[in-house]
Amino acid sequence: MSHESPSAQSRTVSVDDTGVRRQLADGSEEAVKWSELSAVVVRVIPEGPWKEDVFFMLAGTDGKGTAIPSGDPAADALIERLQTLPGFDNEKFIEAMTTDADEAYVVWSAEGHAAKH
């Protein structure tokens, strides 16, 4: 039971060697290439348990990006790939995934190290 607008709901999310693509229900697409990734943020919105409350926000160097719900079937593959990024902050990631605080956690940035929260 999601209260997202129908156009914002994912139809499919794919994670591959090129990057991450999210096809939206309205037919539009959001995508970030690994080579153009500038930051990874875990956004926690205390809406659960019936609404999606954790999103993986990927920002590209072009200012565009995508937000992948943690409950998406592709989320496990995404997490595996993100954890291979040099300087990925696993401690900050675990903190974000186990809190119900309304916060955004920067777990990786393009400078090659995780930014401080």
* 9 — pLDDT class (breaks 50, 70, 90): low
Task: Pick the more confident residue, 94 or 51.
Answer: 94
What is the distance between the alpha carbons of residues 18 and 1, in angstroms, rounded to a whole number?
32
| H or E element at residue 93 | helix 90-97
Would you give the distance in Å from CA 42 to the centre of its chain? 6
Per-residue pLDDT tens over the stretch 65-84: 999 999 999 999 999 999 99
pLDDT score of 26 more than 70? yes
With a pLDDT cut of 70, the percent of the chain lying above it is 84
Q: Answer yes or no: pTM beyond 0.85.
A: no
What is the distance between the alpha carbons of residues 65 and 61, in angstroms, rounded to a whole number?
9
